[in-house]
Amino acid sequence: MKILIDISKKCIQGGSRRAYEDRLSACLKSSAENLDSLEQEIDALKVFLETADFSHLRAAYPALAGGVENQALLHYSEGTGFEIEAAGEIIPVRLSSK
């Protein structure tokens, strides 16, 4: 699954939170045919927001700190987990130790 995240004004965490909220809102307004796809994206974004080490991502990859790259593409697979495509590179997502 791939989810587009706008990071032109917010960091990867804020952009992901906004993408999550947008999909929740769309889910309430959506027809039944789009619901399954939206629910999968909502679930993936929720897990990403709860488990990603955002401090590390912002510090190690300036493009994810916001304002540099317009968009990031969040890749999710149950087998490989999360990766972010931004600024021409694929960035592995480290999980937080909370």
Give backbone dihedrals phi and psi of 17, rounded to 5 degrees, phi first: -60, -40
Spans of all domains in the chain: 2-92
Q: Three-state SS for 6?
A: strand
Per-residue model confidence (pLDDT) at position 42: 96
Task: Tell me how far apart the alpha carbons of residues 2 and 76 are, in angstroms, rounded to a whole number.
Answer: 6
Residue 90's contacts (CB-CB under 8 Å, 6 or more residues apart) are: 75, 83, 84
Convert the pLDDT of each residue in 19-66 to its tens digit.
999 999 998 887 767 788 899 999 999 999 999 999 999 999 998 998
Task: Tell me how far apart the alpha carbons of residues 42 and 69 are, in angstroms, rounded to a whole number.
Answer: 23
Per-residue model confidence (pLDDT) at position 79: 85
**What pTM was computed for the model?**
0.89
